[in-house]
Amino acid sequence: MADTRPQIFWSCCLLLVVIFAGFSYVECNVIFNPKEPKFSVTNVFLTQFNYTTTDQTLDFNLALNITITNPNKRVDIEYHDIEVTAMYEDKTFALVRSGDRVMHFYKGHENTTVLQNLHVQGKRLVKFGEAELRKFKSRTDAGIYSIDLQLAL
């Protein structure tokens, strides 16, 4: 009759390895379950938004604050650059990189940072069709514009 002790020993070792791997996986997910940082654009001021039909240019000046929150308890985040793209009626009229102002910054865990007075300003060639131009004029008369902002890190 063969001795079954080595077989039982190796079976127990394998079972312990599987249990340890399972606990390690669960522990890593509980401890390090990283969450996406939260971004919000606040205090937006549109001081200039004029379209000139003769040269089809849009003059704009948009000042805004961006609030960035890191909800993670144990994960820190580091940023090297922020890019803001502004669009009106699916037409990009501004692309601004933070450049020297916020070139590199560090967000500790469970931390909120407000980037204040980021300016998106300039003059860009934007071609509107007749219907888009009528819509722009009606929104100008109402003083209400729908501008989409995309943030990229």
pLDDT digits (tens, 9 = 90+) for 44-63: 889 999 999 999 999 999 89
pLDDT-based confidence at 2, cuts 50/70/90? Answer: low
90: burial class by Cβ within 10 Å (0-12, 13-18, 19+)? exposed
Total domains in the fold of the chain: 2
Do 121 and 63 lie in one domain? The reply is yes
Do 77 and 27 lie in one domain? The reply is no
15 close to 40: Cβ distance less than 8 angstroms: no
Do 26 and 43 lie in one domain? The reply is no
57 close to 122: Cβ distance less than 8 angstroms: no
Do 60 and 110 lie in one domain? The reply is yes
Sheet of 57-70, strand order: 38-52, 57-70, 111-125
Do 98 and 60 lie in one domain? The reply is yes
Express each pLDDT in 112-149 by its tens digit: 888 888 888 889 999 999 999 999 999 999 989 999 98
Domain containing residue 6: 1-33
Do 17 and 44 lie in one domain? The reply is no
Do 84 and 144 lie in one domain? The reply is yes
Do 144 and 100 lie in one domain? The reply is yes
